[in-house]
Chains A and B, each alone.
Chain A
Amino acid sequence: MFIYTTPVYRLSLALQGFLDEQFYQLEELQDESSPNFVEEVVTLFFRDSSRLMANIDQALEQCPPDFHRLDKFLHRLKGSASSIGAGKMKNECAGFREFCSEENLEGCLRSFQKVKKEHTILRQKLENYFQLLRQVVPVDKATRSGS
C-alpha cells in the first residue's frame, strides 16, 4: 500500500471539497486483490451518472415534465454521487430534488445546471488524479512486486 502514502494522499487532499471521506474509503478498499478498485469505481460512476443525466435532460424537456420520474433518476444519481464521495455534487442533487418535489421546473433547470457543472469539474479532477496515479504506479508496482 505504498502508493497510498504520499502521492495519492496529496491528490486526495487536492480533491478535497469535491470529494469527501467516502472517497478515502474507496482508496482504502483498494489493495492487492483489487488494485484498480478506485479507478473502476470512478469509471462506473461516470458511466452511470452520464446516463442518468441524459435521462434527466430528457425528462426535463418533456412537456409537462414528469417530476416523479425525475425524482427517481435523481435519487439514483444522488446515491451514486454519495457512494464515491462526491460531496458537492451530492448536495446539488439534493437541492435539485427539492425543486423536483415542489414541481418547480425553473428551480429544477437551474439546479440541474449546477449538477452538471459539478459533474464536469469532478470528472476533470478525477482524471488528473488518475493520471498522477499512473505516473506513480510504476514505481509502486516495482516496489510491491519486489516485496
Chain B
Amino acid sequence: MTVEERKGNADQFPVGMRVLAVDDDPLCLKLLEALLRRCQYNVTTTDKAITALNLLRENKDKFDLVISDVHMPDMDGFKLLELVGLEMDLPVIMLSGNGETQTVMKGITHGACDYLLKPVRLEELRNIWQHVIRRRKFERRCHNDLDCREDGQKAQIVKSEDGQGAADCYEKANKKRKDQIEDDEDDSEDNMQENEDPSSQKKPRVVWTVELHRKFVVAVNQLGIDKAVPKKILDLMNVEKLTRENVASHLQKYRLYLKRLSAVAGQQASMAAAVGGRNSSYLHMASLNGLRNYYATGGSSQLPTLGSFQPNGVLGRMSSPSPLGMHGLLPSQPGQLGSVPNSTSNSYNDLGKIQGINSPGNPQMNLLQGLPGTLDLEQFQQTKLVQDPKKHLPAGLYGSGLAAGPATGSFPNVTNNPLLLQPNTQHDRSGGLGNYSSYRMSPSSSDFEIALQDISQFPRISRYDGSWQGAVASSRDSANAVPILASSSHNNLSPGNIRGNISSRTPHAATKILDESPNVAAVAPLSDPTRSNNVQNQVCSLSGSTIAMPAGFDNDPKLSKFNITGNPRQKWDYIFNSNEISGQVHFGAPLVTQACMIDKLISDSQQNFKGEYAMETTSLQTGLNSTGCSLDDIVNPMVKPEHDDIAFFDMDMGCEIYPLGTCI
C-alpha cells in the first residue's frame, strides 16, 4: 500500500484498516474473512502462522492489526502473539473456541489486546479498530514520557499512579499483568511493544543488530542497570542515527527481559548454589551483576553467562507447578519460585515489582531464577503438572548441568556446545540481535555453554529482540551442530532470508538441522550433568543432524522425566527445532550478546519470544514452560511435519499449550 493510499485509508479509518487473519481452520478463516470484509477492512488471510509471520516481517507497515487463532498446528497462537508484539509491535487479537479464564488470561499476559470467542460476531469485529488507535496513542505517549521520566527513575517504579509515561507504560503493563484483570485492550499489556513506532508514524525502525545490542548492553553495564538512562546509553553507544527513543524503547524491553531473568534467577539460585565448585565465579555471575560484568567485559568471559543459566538448576528446585504458574516471571527472590503459591496473580505481582531490572536483593538469584523460572512457570501454571515440576525443570536445565546439582561435572558438555556461540551470520531482521547468538564458546567456558545450552532449549527466552533470540539460537547449536547450522542455516537465515530460511530450505531439513543444534544444546544440558560425556556425545551426534538424542540421554534415568513421550530425544529436537525454524536463528552472536540473550531467553522464554523463535510453534513456548514438556510442544509443531518422531508429539502431545507439562 502506498503512503498515499494509506493516508487515504487513514482518513477513513477504520475503513480500509489492514488486517491479517490467521487461522488453520479453513471454515473459520473463511468466516472471519467475510466478517472482516463486511466491516470494510482490508483483509489478508493465511492458514499458517509461519506465513503470517513472514508476511509481517516482510513489511512491518503492511498491516495494522493481526487476528489469530489460538490453536494452530504449526505454531501456538500465543507464540505468534508474542512474536508479533515483540517484533512488529502490532496489536494482536486472539480468537478461540476456548473461553476458559486461564486461556484468556494467557492471551492477555502474552500481550493480546483482545480475546474473542468463536464464533465471532460481526459486532465484535466492528470495534477492533480501537486497538490500533489505542496502541498508537499509547506508544506516542510512552515515548514522550519516556524522555522526561527516564532520567529520574528506573523501571523500578512500581505501579506508578499516573497511567502515562514511559515508565508508566512499562509499569502499567506489569500492573495489568499483575492484576490480570484489566481490560486487555490496553496497549500496555504488551510490554514489549511500547517502543516501536506505530506504523502510522512512519518512523524508520531501528534494527537492533547483535552488534548494536552488544554496544547497548555494554553501555548499560557501564552505567549500571539502575542508572542507565537512554540519553547516557545513547551517548556511550555513540551510534549514528540512533535516537534516544530507540534506545529508550529498547531499554524497556531489556529491563523486562532482565526482570524475567531475575525471576528465573531466583529459582536458579539454588541451582547455582548447588553448582558451586568450578562455577564459583560463575555463580557470581549468575546474578545480574554477573551478567553485567559479563557485558562489561564485552562478553569475553563466558562464565557469567553460565551463571545466568543457572536457572536450570533452579528450575529443578521448583517443587511445585504452582510457583511456576507465573509467567515465568518469578519474583527475584531465589526461594520464591518454590514458595510462590500457584497463582498467576502472584507472579504478576512479582512481576510488577520486579519490573525491569532485577538487580535488587538477589541479582544472582534473579538471573537464574528468571531464566528457567520463566519458562517453567508458565508451563507449570498452565499445565497443572502432574509430576513434580522439579523433574521437569531439571530436565530442561540439566543441560546446563546445573540442574543436576553436581554442577561441575556437567559442564563438560558445554564445551561442545557451540550453540551458544554460534557465529551468527544472520542478522535478525527483527532486530539484528540475532548476531548475539553467534558467539563462540570456548571449551573453557563450559559453564557458559551449559548455560547457553539451556537457553537454547528455550528459544523462546529471547523475546526481547531478534538479537536475543539469536543468542539463544546460537546457544542451541552445539559445537557440532553449529557448523552444520552455520553453513546451511546461516545462509538461509540471512536477514533477508529468514523466511526463506525456514521456508526455502525444506522444512524438514531446516527443522532437522535446527533441531539438531538445539538438540545438542538442549541435550547436553538436559542430560545428567554427571554425564558430561554423554552430553558431549549428544551434542556431537546432534550435529550430525540426527535428531535422536544420544543414547546416554535416553538412558539417563534422570532424564526420564523428559520422556514424556518416552522419547526425550524428540522433545529436544522439537524444542530446538522450533527455535531454529522460527527462522531467526542467529548463530554466532557475540558472546556478550549471547549471554544476555540467553538470560533473557530463559526468562522470557515464556513470554515473548521474538523473532527467531517466532517460528517455533507454540509448543516451543509451552514446552519451555514445563521444562521438558514445553519444549516438546514448541518443537512439536515445528518438527512435526518433518520427523516421524515428531509426529508422535503432534496432536498427542497435545496441548499446544501444555505440552510436556501435562504429559509429565
Give A residues with C-beta under 8 Å from B. Answer: 22, 25-26, 28-29, 33-34, 37, 40-41, 44-45, 48, 66, 68-69, 71-73, 75-76, 78-80, 82-85
Q: Check B98 for interface membership: any CB of A closer than 8 A.
A: yes
Q: Which residue of B37, B119, B651 is within 8 Å of A85 (Cβ)?
A: B119
Pick from B20-28, B470-478, B608-616 the stretch touching chain A. Answer: B20-28
Q: Check B121 for interface membership: any CB of A closer than 8 A.
A: yes
Q: Which residue of A68, A69, A75 is within 8 Å of B97 (Cβ)?
A: A75
Q: Which residues of A contact B651 (CB under 8 A)?
A: 68-69, 72-73
Per-residue A-contact encoding for B71-107, CB less than 8 Å = 1, 0 else: 1000000000000000000000000011000000000
Query: Cβ of A83 and Cβ of B31 under 8 Å apart?
Result: yes
* B15 CB to nearest A CB, Å: 16
Closest to B24 in A: A76
* B120 CB to nearest A CB, Å: 9
Query: Cβ of B31 and Cβ of A69 under 8 Å apart?
Result: no
Query: Cβ of B97 and Cβ of A78 under 8 Å apart?
Result: yes
* A64 CB to nearest B CB, Å: 12
Closest to B32 in A: A83
Q: Which residues of A contact B182 (CB under 8 A)?
A: none
Query: Cβ of B35 and Cβ of A48 under 8 Å apart?
Result: no
Q: Which residue of B30, B38, B122, B654 is within 8 Å of A40 (Cβ)?
A: B30
Query: Cβ of B97 and Cβ of A82 under 8 Å apart?
Result: yes
Q: Which residue of B26, B37, B122, B654 is within 8 Å of A68 (Cβ)?
A: B654
Query: Cβ of A22 and Cβ of B25 under 8 Å apart?
Result: no
Closest to A29 in B: B34
Chain B residues 618 to 659 lying within 8 A of chain A, measured CB to CB, are 651-655
Closest to B23 in A: A79
Interface size class of B (residues with CB under 8 A): 20 to 34
Q: Which residues of A contact B119 (CB under 8 A)?
A: 22, 25, 82-83, 85
Q: Which residue of A28, A34, A84 is within 8 Å of B27 (Cβ)?
A: A84
Query: Cβ of A79 and Cβ of B97 under 8 Å apart?
Result: yes
Q: Check B118 for interface membership: any CB of A closer than 8 A.
A: yes
Q: Which residue of A22, A44, A84 is within 8 Å of B26 (Cβ)?
A: A44
Chain B residues 21 to 67 lying within 8 A of chain A, measured CB to CB, are 25-28, 30-31, 34-35, 37-38
Q: Which residue of B30, B122, B654 is within 8 Å of A72 (Cβ)?
A: B654
The 10 closest A-B pairs by CB, nearest first: A79-B97, A68-B654, A29-B34, A44-B27, A72-B651, A83-B119, A69-B651, A82-B119, A22-B119, A69-B652
Query: Cβ of A75 and Cβ of B98 under 8 Å apart?
Result: yes
Known: A69-B651, A84-B27. 6 other contacts (CB 8 A): A34-B34, A44-B26, A68-B651, A72-B651, A72-B654, A85-B119
Closest to A22 in B: B119
Complex formed: what's the CA distance from A123 to B122 in Å? Answer: 25
Q: Which residue of B71, B121, B652, B653 is within 8 Å of A25 (Cβ)?
A: B121
Q: List 8 interface pairs A-B (beta carbons < 8 Å), by A numbering.
A: A25-B119, A25-B121, A34-B34, A44-B26, A48-B26, A68-B655, A80-B28, A83-B31
Chain B residues 494 to 520 lying within 8 A of chain A, measured CB to CB, are none
Whether A41 contacts B654 in the complex (CB less than 8 A), given A82-B97, A82-B119, comes out as: no
Interface centre among A26, A48, A68, A73 (most CB of B within 10 A): A68
* A22 CB to nearest B CB, Å: 5
Q: Which residues of A contact B97 (CB under 8 A)?
A: 75, 78-79, 82
Query: Cβ of A29 and Cβ of B35 under 8 Å apart?
Result: yes
Q: Which residue of B27, B98, B652, B653 is within 8 Å of A41 (Cβ)?
A: B27
Q: Which residue of B25, B34, B98 is within 8 Å of A48 (Cβ)?
A: B25
Closest to A43 in B: B27
Query: Cβ of B25 and Cβ of A41 under 8 Å apart?
Result: no
Query: Cβ of B34 and Cβ of A69 under 8 Å apart?
Result: no
Q: Which residues of B contact A33 (CB under 8 A)?
A: 37
Complex formed: what's the CA distance from A83 to B118 in Å? Answer: 7
Interface centre among A29, A68, A79 (most CB of B within 10 A): A79
Closest to B71 in A: A75
* A36 CB to nearest B CB, Å: 12
Q: Which residues of B contact A73 (CB under 8 A)?
A: 651
* B145 CB to nearest A CB, Å: 42
Q: Which residues of A contact B26 (CB under 8 A)?
A: 44, 48
Per-residue A-contact encoding for B115-134, CB less than 8 Å = 1, 0 else: 00011011000000000000
* A119 CB to nearest B CB, Å: 14
Per-residue A-contact encoding for B326-358, CB less than 8 Å = 1, 0 else: 000000000000000000000000000000000
Q: Which residue of B28, B37, B38, B121 is within 8 Å of A79 (Cβ)?
A: B28
Complex formed: what's the CA distance from A84 to B30 in Å? Answer: 11
Q: Which residues of B contact A22 (CB under 8 A)?
A: 119
Complex formed: what's the CA distance from A26 to B27 in Å? Answer: 12
Q: Which residues of B contact A75 (CB under 8 A)?
A: 71, 97-98
Query: Cβ of A83 and Cβ of B98 under 8 Å apart?
Result: no
Complex formed: what's the CA distance from A78 to B31 in Å? Answer: 15
Closest to A70 in B: B651
Q: Which residue of B25, B37, B653, B654 is within 8 Å of A76 (Cβ)?
A: B25
